Amino acid sequence: MVQSALLTLGRLPKGLDIARSFARLGWRVIIADPFSSHLMGASRSVTKSYQVPPPATEIEAYFAALERIIDQESINLVVPVSEDVMFVAELPNYLKNSVPVFAMPPEIIHGVHDKFDFIKKSAEIGLKVPESAVFGTELAQKIAESGPYIIKPRHSCAGNGVRFFAQNTALKAEKTDVIQQLVHGGEQSTCSLAINGRVVATVVYRATMLSGTVACAFERVETPKIDEWVSRFVAATHWNGFISFDFIVDAEGTPYAIECNPRTTSGLHFFDTDDIAPAILGKKSTIRFRKERELMQFWSCLQETQDSFGDWPRFLANMRQVWRTKDVTFAADDPWPMISMPWTARGIIAAARREKVPFGIAATRDLAWTRSLADSGVV
């Protein structure tokens, strides 16, 4: 009997890698997305797409729609793709029938998504993190007085709301903001797939082109200390699912984790597509990397290149990047997602231009999980 996987987001390129992997295993791939038009809808790997209510504003209707899809399509596994995990992790509590969700329980997901709780958890494990405190505490004031610092919302994504300040700058923030020591160094990010507390694979990468605060081109690097950090965190939390981190690596080569994303990131594109679904299903104990060391999201990089016209050093560097780097979406046997993206993502592109925000932020507005949702008791 053919198995069916439900992916709960269709608009982002990293979801396409997961869909293609399951399709190559012979699975039916069903997509649920609040957008009627999306990237993965153009893929030959996708059997069917459903439009569902946006979870950030219609959570009960969202779960009801997912339950109908699960019943109608005889779904065997639910796989969150990105910020949708913040809601989909709660799905088992709403279903009459038991269908596995490839994610940790919601209280753990929400705990590590919280910028301050994640820092506390990591410090308890004995892992390196910047000194951090909640606004209004004595420690927060001490951090602001002792050196450069950062203020960030406890719940945000894509770098939204992060602000940088010099030492002794007057401390002004929301009561739930996190005040964090600024660690000087280079930023590196990860994407890992873990099964029951064991890392199957971790990709470490750095941004080579940014769209706002979001990487649209990236390079895989080797940083063994980051691999070790991730393995220790995964083992201590018995993690099962995707998990990603942002690090600052200081001048001595010591990595400090600054944030956790309990989901995939663009690092997923460096995994060999054939290995992703078997690893999710526990049929592979390792994942190979793609041969490419650098990858890009072509249309976002093209926009950044156009925007840099007139700043000639930056423009020429961006042109070289676009010319030599492979797009994450294009596949010779499944070309339409990449070719049709300006049309299928037209709503996101229009919103990004209208609101003057990066594509990555515009693409996840209807998926934003905030403390207000938790405090309301909805999630």
State how far the Cα of 153 lies from the Cα of 156, in Å rounded to an integer.
6
* Helix H or strand E segment including 181: strand 178-181
Same-domain check for residues 60 and 151: no
Same-domain check for residues 94 and 177: no
- Integer Rg of the chain from CA: 20
Please provide the distance, in angstroms rounded to a whole number, between the alpha carbons at the two ends of the chain.
Answer: 35
Residue 162 lies in a domain: yes
Helices 13-24, 273-280: crossing angle, 10 deg rounding: 80
Burial of 333 (0-12, 13-18, 19+ CB in 10 A): exposed
Residue 299 lies in a domain: no
Report in angstroms the alpha-carbon separations of 87 from 32, 71, 180, 366.
13, 19, 27, 11
Same-domain check for residues 99 and 138: no
Q: Where is the domain boundary, 163, 181, 199?
A: 181
98: domain CATH number?
3.40.50.20
CB neighbourhood size of 365 (10 A): 15
State how far the Cα of 234 lies from the Cα of 54, in Å rounded to an integer.
30
Residue 117 lies in a domain: no
Token duo for residue 72: 């109608």
Collapsing DSSP to helix, strand or coil, 32 comes out as strand
Residue 27 lies in a domain: yes
> Is the CA virtual torsion 336, 338, 343, 346 positive or negative?
positive
State how far the Cα of 54 lies from the Cα of 63, in Å rounded to an integer.
10
Same-domain check for residues 17 and 94: yes
Report in angstroms the alpha-carbon separations of 224 from 190, 227, 231, 260, 269.
12, 5, 11, 18, 20
Same-domain check for residues 65 and 16: yes
Same-domain check for residues 41 and 89: yes
State how far the Cα of 357 lies from the Cα of 20, in Å rounded to an integer.
30
Same-domain check for residues 138 and 95: no
Q: What is the pLDDT of residues 197-227, one digit of tens each?
A: 999 999 999 999 987 778 889 999 999 999 9
Same-domain check for residues 34 and 94: yes
Same-domain check for residues 152 and 90: no
Same-domain check for residues 44 and 86: yes
Phi, psi of 202 (to 5 degrees): -130, 130
Residue 168: predicted pLDDT:
67
Residue 318: predicted pLDDT:
87
State how far the Cα of 13 lies from the Cα of 15, in Å rounded to an integer.
5
Name residue 192's amino acid: S
Beta strands at 198-211 and 326-327: parallel, antiparallel or unpaired: unpaired
Residue 116: predicted pLDDT:
93
Residue 326: beta bridge partners?
A: 295
Residue 370: predicted pLDDT:
64
Count of alpha carbons within 13 angstroms of residue 70, beta-carbon side: 22
Residue 101 lies in a domain: yes
Residue 268 lies in a domain: no
Same-domain check for residues 29 and 100: yes
State how far the Cα of 175 lies from the Cα of 215, in Å rounded to an integer.
29
Residue 231 lies in a domain: no
Residue 92 lies in a domain: yes
Same-domain check for residues 93 and 135: no
Token duo for residue 50: 């459903």
Q: In terms of residue numbers, what domain contains 173?
A: 131-181
What is the number of domains present in the chain?
2
What does each of the 379 residues of the chain score in pLDDT, given as a tens digit? Answer: 899 999 999 999 999 999 999 999 999 999 999 999 999 999 999 999 999 999 999 999 999 999 999 999 999 999 999 999 999 999 999 988 789 999 999 999 999 999 999 999 999 999 999 999 988 888 988 988 888 888 888 887 666 668 878 876 766 666 778 899 999 999 999 999 999 999 999 999 999 998 777 888 999 999 999 999 999 999 999 999 999 999 999 999 999 999 999 999 999 999 999 999 999 999 999 999 999 999 999 988 998 898 888 989 999 998 998 999 999 999 999 999 999 999 998 888 888 788 877 777 777 888 887 655 555 444 5
Residue 371: predicted pLDDT:
53
